Structure 1
Amino acid sequence: MFTLRPTSLFPVVFSIALACKGEVGDEGSDDVASESSTGDTDTDTGDTDTGDTDTGVDPLACWTDLGFGEHEVLYQGFAGGSEGIAFGLDGLLYATANDRVWQVTAEGTASEFAMVPDALGLAARPDGSLVVASFGMANQPDGSVWTVDDQGAAMQIAAGIDSPNFVTIALDGSALISDDFDTRVFRVDDQGQVSVVIASVPSPNGMAYSPNRDFFYVASTFTPLGQLTRYEVGDDGMPIEASAVEILQLGMASTPDGIAVDEEGWVYVAANLRGEIWRVDGAVAGLDPGELVAEGLGFPASIAFGQGPGFDPCSLYLTQLENDTLQRVFVGRRGVPLPPPIVPNANPTPLPR
C-alpha cells in the first residue's frame, strides 16, 4: 500500500501527482465506464444490492449487475481510509484500517477482528491464518510482521524490516514482504526467519504470482516510470532476480500500489494517485501499454478478487487510501482461487547485515 506517512519523498510525489493526474497513459480509456455506480449503500453497514447476479448454483459465475469497469460501494465507515485487503479461507473479506484488521461480510457489515499496530498489507495462509505487515515509522527499522489466527489472536513473528507494506504467500506458506522505501523484497518463514529474495527492485509494493506460479510480479510505487516488473520463479518457489523484465509503465505520478492476477494471467494494478486500475497480460514478451480498466476510484490502495459466498468472483474489491469506503469493480474475469497448496519450506538466504 502507498502510505500517507511523513517522509522526504512523499510531498514531492504528491505535488507532481496533482499536476500530472490524468495526463499519463490514457490508452484504452474509451471503453471504460466513467461513472461510478454506488448502489444503495447505508453509511453504517454498507448494505449493497447486488442486483441480478445470475449465479444460480455456481458460486464461480460472474455477476451481471455491473458493466466492465463499473464500480459500487460495498462498505462505508473506515474513517481515515483503509489499506490492505484479502479474502480469507472462511469466505470473508479482511481489510486493515486504524491499527486493526477488520472482518467484512458480503452484506457490507464490518467488525473488528484483531489489533495490529500500523497494519498495512495482509494475505491469507493455507492454514486459515493471516499474515499482516506492520509499517512502523518511515525510514526506521521498526517494522514488523504478524500472524492473526482464525480466532483473531495476533502475534508478532518477525522484526527488523524498515517499512513492511504488501504481503503475498508463497507455495511453501512463507510470506513475501515488500517495503516501498527500500529496494528489497523479503521472505519470512513460519519460524520468523527473514531473508532477501529480491535485492534490487525500485520501491517495491504490490506483489503477486501468476496462476501456475511460474511468474512473480512487483509494482514499483515511488518511481518516475511507475513500472510493473515480472520475474521467473525458481524451483524453490522464489523469484529469480536476474530474470526481471518490465512489462508495464504507467508513468510519473501513477504510484502503482496493490496488484492482483486473474485466472487468465492478466495482472491488475491500482494506480493510486490517479484513481485508476490498469491491467496487462502477465505473459507479454516485453513492455506493453496495458489497458485501462476503471477510473474515478478516488485513491485505490489494495485490490483482491472476490472469493467466497456473496462476493462476485469476477470483480475486484479495493481499499481506499483517503476515503472511508471499500469498493467493488467489475472486470468480467475470475481471480486465482484460494488456497494454494503447502510444499516443504525452501532454504532462505540469510538477511544481509
Structure 2
Amino acid sequence: MMKRVSWMFSLALACGGGSGETTTDTGTGTSTSTDATATDATGSDTTTTTGTTDAPTSTAPTSTADPTTGEPPTTGTTTTTTDPTGTGTTGAVDPPPMSLADIVDGELALIADGHMFTEGPIWSPEGYLLYSDIPANTIFRWAEGEQPTAFITPSGNSNGLAFDAMGRLLAGEHGGRRISRRTIGDPDAETVVGEFEGQSLNSPNDLTIRSDGTIYFTDPPYGIQPNQQELDFQGVFRVDPQGQVSLVADDFDRPNGIVLSPDESLLYVADTNGEHVRVFTVEPDGNAVGGDVFVDLQSDLPGNPDGMAVDAFGDLYVSGGGGVRVVTPDATVLGTIEVPEQVTNCKFGDPDGKALFITAQARVYRIRLKVAGA
C-alpha cells in the first residue's frame, strides 16, 4: 500500500491569521473570536455561564453560502460524479487519500454568521444541518438556499448533537448537565443520563452513537463553575442500549470531541488541554478499553483538539490548530484545512455525505470534499 504523504493545502482567507484573535464585522455588530487560552468551549479553564437564555437579537444569522467548487491538483485515481448541490462535479476518490489534494474538492464557503458561539454540527437524515449556539441556548437549522433559523429554544445550552437510529436527536447539554433525547417536533426532551453514582455530571460536551444504540460521551467542566462540580474527575462515559451508565476513563484533563471508527472497533477521544487524541478498542459488548495517545497535535496555531469527524476511509478530521487537521488511521497528519478563525467542531453532511460542515466561533462553514463521511 502506498505511504501517504503529509502536505499542507492552504485555504486561508484574507481575514485569516496566526495570532488566534480575529475580529469580524457581521454587519449588525462586532464579533470577536479568541484563541483557546480565552475561549471556554475550546480548551481553557474559563467556564461558560449557562444562566443566559436569551437568543441573539442584534446579530441575526445571515447566510452567504457559495458552494462553488474548485479543482485542486489530485494524485491517484478519481472518478467524476454529479455534485448534488448543483455546483458542478466532484471527484470521488477510489484508493485511500494520500494528500489533502485527494480530499478537498472546493473552497471554504461561509453559510451562517452572527452567532455567539457555534458547536455540535450534525446532518439530519431529513436533509438539513443542525448546530448549537451554546450561549444563545438555541439549536439552529440550516438548509440549502435558506437562512439559518432557530429550531429548538431553549436547548439546555446544548453542545454536541447526534441522531440515533430512530431519528431522535440527542444532545450534550451544558445547562441541563445531561444527555437528552427528543423526537423532532416534540417540545420536551427526556433525560438519558444526568448523573453517575449519585452525583451530577459536569457538563456533557460531545457524543457518538454505536449502531446498537450504545452512547459514548465526554464530560468536561466547561459549562459549570468550579463550585458546581460534584464529580472529582472529567470522564468519558458509556450508556449501553439498556440505559446502564459506566465509566470508560477518568484520567482526562479536558475530554472533548469523540467519534467511532467506520467499523466501530475504535473510539477516538480528543483531550483538549493535552493537545492530543487518544484511542480505545471497542469490545463486542461495547466496553471500550485502552486509551493510549493516538496522535499528538500540539500547535502554536489557534485552537487545541476539539470536535472531530471521520470519513469512510477511517481518516480523522480534528478541529483546532488553525483549522481542521486530517489524520490517517496510522496517525499520519496529511495536513490542515485552514479556517480563518478558531474551529470548534466539524461533521460530514450534504445529500451525498461529501461536505464537511465546520463550526467556528460566530460562524458556520462548508467545504465540499471528494470523500464521504463514515
Per-residue CA shift, 1:86-143, capped at 9, x if unaligned?
A: 112212111011111111112242222222222111111111111111113xxxxx61
CA–CA distance in 1 between the matches of 2:131 and 2:109? 17
Q: Root-mean-square deviation (CA), in Å?
A: 3.2
* Structure 1 residue 67, shift from structure 2 partner: 5.2
1:280 corresponds to: 327
1:111 maps to a residue whose letter is: T
Match of 1:46 among 63, 72, 75: 63
**Structure 1 residues 152, 307: CA separation in 2 closer, same or farther (over 3 Å shift)?**
farther
> Distance between the aligned counterparts of 1:264 and 1:238, measured in 2?
23
Q: CA offsets per residue over residues 142-187 of structure 1, 9 Å max, x none? A: 6122112121533141312111100111222232210234442112
CA deviation digits over 1:70-97, x for unaligned, max 9?
411012232x121111112212111011
TM-superposed deviation, 1:196? 1.6
- Which residue is 1:173 aligned to? 213
CA distance in 1, matches of 2:156, 2:364: 21
Q: Does the aligned pair in 1 maintain the 2:319–2:325 contact within 8 Å?
A: yes
Structure 2 residue runs without a partner (length 5+): 17-25, 28-59, 71-79, 92-102, 195-199, 222-232
Name which of 105, 119, 126 aligns with 1:90: 126
1:332 is aligned to 2:358: no
| SS of aligned partner of 1:200 | strand
What is aligned with 1:31?
9
Structure 1, unpaired ranges of 5+ = 1-26, 137-141, 337-353
Q: Which residue of 2 aligns with 1:20?
A: none
User: In the alignment, what sits opposite 2:180?
Assistant: 146
Q: Deviations over 1:7-50 (max 9, x none)?
A: xxxxxxxxxxxxxxxxxxxx956433333799xx9985414233
Contact kept in structure 2, 1:62 and 1:314, CA below 8 Å:
no
Secondary structure in structure 2 of the residue aligned to 1:31: coil
Correspondence 1:73 to 2:120: no
Superposition pairs of residues 1-353 of structure 1, within 5 angstroms: 28=6, 30-35=8-13, 45-51=62-68, 56=82, 63=90, 70-78=107-115, 80-97=116-133, 98-115=136-153, 116-136=155-175, 143-157=177-191, 158-159=193-194, 160-181=200-221, 182-189=233-240, 193-223=244-274, 226-240=275-289, 243-251=290-298, 254-271=303-320, 274-282=321-329, 284=330, 288=331, 290-308=333-351, 313-321=353-361, 323=362, 325-336=363-374
Percent of matched pairs sharing the same residue: 24
What is the CA distance between 1:293 and its match in structure 2? Answer: 2.3
Q: Whole-Å Cα distance in 1 between the matches of residues 311 and 89 of structure 2?
A: 13
Counterparts of 2:307 and 2:14, CA distance in 1: 20
- Counterpart CA distance in 2 for 1:68 and 1:57 is 11
Distance verdict in 2 for CA 1:37–1:305, change over 3 Å: farther
Letter in 2 for 1:127: M
CA contact (8 A) 1:171 1:237 kept: no
CA contact (8 A) 2:220 2:234 kept: yes
Count of residue pairs the alignment pairs up? 286
Cα distance in 1 between the residues matched to 2:137 and 2:146: 20
The residue number in structure 2 matching 1:18 is none
AA aligned to 2:333 is G
State the distance in 1 between where 2:244 and 2:187 align: 21
On the 8 A contact 1:37/1:70 being kept in 2, the answer is no
In 2, the alpha carbon distance for the partners of 1:165 and 1:69 equals: 30
Change (3 A) 1:281 1:52: closer
Hey, what's the Cα distance between the residues in 1 that align with 2:89 and 2:292? 32
Letter of the structure 1 residue corresponding to residue 324 of structure 2:
I
The change in CA–CA distance for 1:245 and 1:62 in structure 2 (over 3 A counts) is farther
TM-score (norm 1): 0.71
